[in-house]
Amino acid sequence: MLKVANSLTMLRLLATPVLVYLLLNTVRFRRYDWYALGLIGLLQATDILDGYLARQAKGPVRIRTMGEILDPIADKLYINSSVLALAWIGRLPMWAGGVIVLRDGLILAGWLATYLGTGVRLLPNKLGKAADTFQAALLILILLRPPDPLLSGVIWITVVLTIASGFLYLKGALSARHEARL
């Protein structure tokens, strides 16, 4: 099961450039919205499925560790690449895209600093998962081209969740570093 889960993660990594290509070309070819929408749905489904399979399986540490590292990288890469592409073509405000990418960059830096400094791995929290879910939903909503007030509301909710979860991750990283010193 772990090999299947890791294969699904690799699929997300390999599909990211295709998704970015589709998103960047939605300006010229409106049908690419639908292709990108389908691919995002597939990527979200593989994320859910690989998470389920990984939780069910007990496999070699090497394979588990690979999935534990690659899965969040695949998720962040596909979400952040999509956010940047949509901001680049003007379908997402640049400031909102910047908040999402900055938060994920800071989380990655904090995770690495905490892990390398203390050996403690920061685990995802519920607020972070909610922010990630809203980020994926925002991508889908942008491609569906809803009325502007609805899109603006979802952008603001996503940004607030993204910022709040970033602070929660920061608090966890600082707490782990403090505990390691004691």
Angle, helix 126-144 to helix 61-88, in steps of 10 degrees: 40
Number of structural domains the chain divides into: 1
Burial of 32 (0-12, 13-18, 19+ CB in 10 A): middle
Residue-wise pLDDT tens digits, 85-115: 999 999 999 999 999 999 998 888 877 777 6
For residue 115, give its domain range. 2-181
pLDDT above 80 for 62: no
- Cα→Cα distances 42→4, 29, 52, 105, Å: 15, 21, 15, 25
* Helix or strand holding residue 88 (H, E): helix 61-88
Average pLDDT over residues 160-171: 92
- Report the share of the chain in percent with pLDDT over 90: 55
pLDDT above 80 for 182: no
Q: What is the CATH number of the domain that holds 32?
A: 1.20.120.1760
Angle, helix 94-118 to helix 126-144, in steps of 10 degrees: 150
pTM here is 0.87
